[in-house]
Amino acid sequence: MQRQDFVSATEHIADWIADYWHTLRDRPVRPSTVPGSVSAALPDLPPADTDTIRAVLDDFDRIVAPNLTHWQHPRFFAYFPANVSPASVLADMLIAATGVNAMLWETSPAATELEETMMDWLKTLMDLPPLWHGVIQDTASSATLAAVLMAREKVTDGRAATKGLAGLPPLSVYTTAEAHSSVEKAVRIAGLGSDGLRIVPHDDDFAMRADALAAMIADDRAAGRLPALVVATVGTTGVGACDPVADIADVAGTEGLLLHVDAAWAGTAALCPEFRAPFAGLDRADSYVFNPHKWMGVGFDCSAHFVADRALLTRTFSVNPAYLQTTDGVTNYRDWGVPLGRRMRALKLWFVLRLEGADRLRAMIRDHVAWADWLARLVAEAPDFDLVTGPALSLLSFRFAPGGTDAATADRLTGALLDAVNRDGFTYLTRTLVAGRPVIRFQIGPMTTDWSDVEAAWTRVRTLAADLHPGVAA
Ligand code: PLP
């Protein structure tokens, strides 16, 4: 590509992005794409000759853009946010353009040292233990896998990695039914078997019961198992529940288990001192992850993973062929997780923390939490809805239960309402189960959202509910 063609294409793309962000509010959050229609619009074979940039960008506009779900949309209230700030996009351009592989200090000293410094900045901003060591993983799932593998390494004294699990007592990892599915995935990948995941009972607030944890560990030891790790969650995916980290750290400490804390979504709230209570006891965790790529405006992917014992993490992952043996006495992030090749993700954090700034991020979080509170009040006051959980920070859940309907009918209506909302496309919400019954989750997280977007989405939910069930006030 000629220099001038590249420059004019980037100008075109920059305009496209600015227009896209500016017009998001006027679009549906979700497209009404028919399955298979995108692949049908693409040629079966790659082009024989090169295309022009214009042709590729035209096809992007025609085939791709109209069939996107708009995660940056101000009425995207599904799942958790995946916020992309303009600062992060600018950094991503430089990351892509330099194409740096940050696997070793030597393969890009600036990438490694920027990553170390950004992890230290996060510790300062969030009042995390100053002696922790930080690394950017691609996802929280990878950090949780690293924690499970670290625990396996520790309790088997390295034997599981070198000789396999045969002949060892079965290992146990403890978490609750509300933990993210990545915990189960990690246990499976680590070869601990489906019995290796021990589901600890939770209380009425969906928080792990530390007394039940202690009892399960004792029972498992008596049965010849080897308790290895507890995974506590601050801000569960379903309802935003918070396990009691300090009580769990007591049990883990007494029993000699590692403790990993997953705050993939809620971790960003620790930017605000007033939201730090659920993190009490975190200083006694061995491993902690939160996702700047969720609420913090750092585009995919950027998962901040901290460990207390750096040597245990690197021992777990270090394999040392001659071609990777380079400068001594520096951090080589190749040893800190599964992948060897690593993007220079720290640049996104650097840009976001400098250009958006912690104060603006704090203001956004405070707005979202306040709006979730207002919305919860509207839901609680609406005669045909039950507020089921929350708000937990900016996440709440509700059911559509018009007066007099039994639980089974409310289940059906709640499911039908969610389907209607998501078919409609004006807003986008997620289904989950609370105590075995369907609820609709509503999380307020996009950086682009105003209170008027939340209100408009709630009004639309009520209108669609009235369409579904005559007699319900819109
Ligand atoms: N942990 C929790 C509590 C989550 O809510 C999620 C995703 O929403 C994850 C882990 C997985 O995050 P990732 O996609 O970064 O693996």
CB distance 413 to ligand 1 below 6 Å: no
140: CA distance to ligand 1 center in Å? Answer: 6
pLDDT for the residue numbered 379? 97
pLDDT, residue 470, reads 74
pLDDT at site 169:
94
**Ligand 1 atom at minimal distance to the Cα of residue 79:** 8
Ligand 1 pocket check for 180: Cβ under 6 Å: yes
Helix (H, G, I), strand (E, B) or coil at 87: helix
Strands 395-400 and 197-199 turn out to be: unpaired
How many Cβ atoms from other residues are within 10 Å of residue 456's Cβ?
A: 16
Dihedral (CA of 93, 94, 98, 101) sign:
negative
What's residue 322's pLDDT? Answer: 85
What residues contact 194, with CB distance under 8 A and at least 6 apart?
187, 188
Which of 80, 182, 298, 345 to mutate to test ligand 1, by most ligand atoms within 8 A of the CB atom? 182
Which protein residue's CA is at the shortest distance from atom 6 of ligand 1? 264
**DSSP helix, strand, coil percent of the chain (3-state; round to 5):** 50, 15, 35
Q: What's the pLDDT score for residue 258?
A: 98
How far, in Å, is the centroid of ligand 1 from the Cα of 141? 6
CATH dotted code for 93-356: 3.40.640.10
ipTM score: 0.98
**174, 231 contact by CB (below 8 A):** yes
**C-alpha to C-alpha distance for 162 and 233, rounded to whole angstroms:** 30
Nearest CA to ligand 1 atom 14: 139
CA distance 311 to 60: 46
Residue in 180, 183, 189, 443 to alter for ligand 1 test, most ligand atoms within 8 A of Cβ: 180
**What is the pTM assigned to this prediction?**
0.95
Q: Contact 171/152 with Cβ under 8 angstroms?
A: yes
Per-residue pLDDT of the chain (474 residues; tens, 9 = 90+): 899 989 999 999 999 999 999 999 999 999 989 999 999 999 999 999 999 899 999 999 999 999 999 999 999 999 999 999 999 999 999 999 999 999 999 999 999 999 999 999 999 999 999 999 999 999 999 999 999 999 999 999 989 888 888 889 999 999 999 999 999 999 999 999 989 999 999 999 999 999 999 999 999 999 999 999 999 999 999 999 999 999 999 999 999 999 999 999 999 999 999 999 999 999 999 999 999 999 999 999 999 999 999 999 999 999 888 888 887 889 999 999 999 999 999 999 999 999 999 999 999 999 999 999 999 999 999 999 999 999 999 999 999 999 878 999 999 999 999 999 999 999 999 999 999 999 999 999 999 999 999 999 999 999 999 999 877 766
The per-residue pLDDT for 183 is: 98
In this predicted structure, what is the pLDDT of residue 209? 98
- Residue 414 Cα to ligand 1 midpoint, Å, equals 25
Question: Does any ligand 1 atom lie closer than 6 A to the CB of residue 145?
Answer: no
**Cα 400 to Cα 437: distance, rounded to the nearest angstrom:** 12
State the first-to-last Cα distance of the chain, in angstroms, to the nearest integer. 56
**What is the DSSP code string of 233-295?**
EBS-TTT--B--HHHHHHHHHHHT-EEEEE-TTGGGGGGSGGG-GGGTTGGG-SEEEE-TTTS
Delimit the domains of the chain by residue range: 3-68, 93-356, 359-468
| Rounded distance from Cα 84 to ligand 1 centre (Å) | 17
Domains 93-356 and 359-468 share a fold: no
Please, are residues 173 and 231 in contact by the beta-carbon 8 Å criterion? yes
CA distances from 284 to 225, 245, 251, 352 (A): 24, 9, 11, 29
Q: Rounded to the nearest whole angstrom, what is the distance from the C-alpha of residue 401 to the centroid of ligand 1?
A: 30
The CATH H-level (homologous superfamily) assignment of domain 3-68 is dopa decarboxylase, N-terminal domain (1.20.1340.10)
Q: Are strands 226-233 and 197-199 parallel, antiparallel or unpaired?
A: unpaired
The correct CATH number of 359-468 out of 3.90.1150.10, 3.30.1120.80, 3.40.190.10, 3.30.590.20 is 3.90.1150.10
| Ligand 1 atom closest to the CA of 235, numbered from 1 | 3
Ligand 1 in contact with 237 (CB < 6 A)? Answer: yes
For residue 141, give the ligand 1 atom closest to its CA: 16
DSSP letter at 208 equals: B
Q: For 456, list phi and psi in degrees, rounded to 5.
A: -65, -40
Residue 156 in contact with ligand 1 by CB distance below 6 A: no
Residues in a beta bridge with 260: 231, 287
d(CA 454, CA 361): 19
Q: What is the pLDDT of residue 306?
A: 98
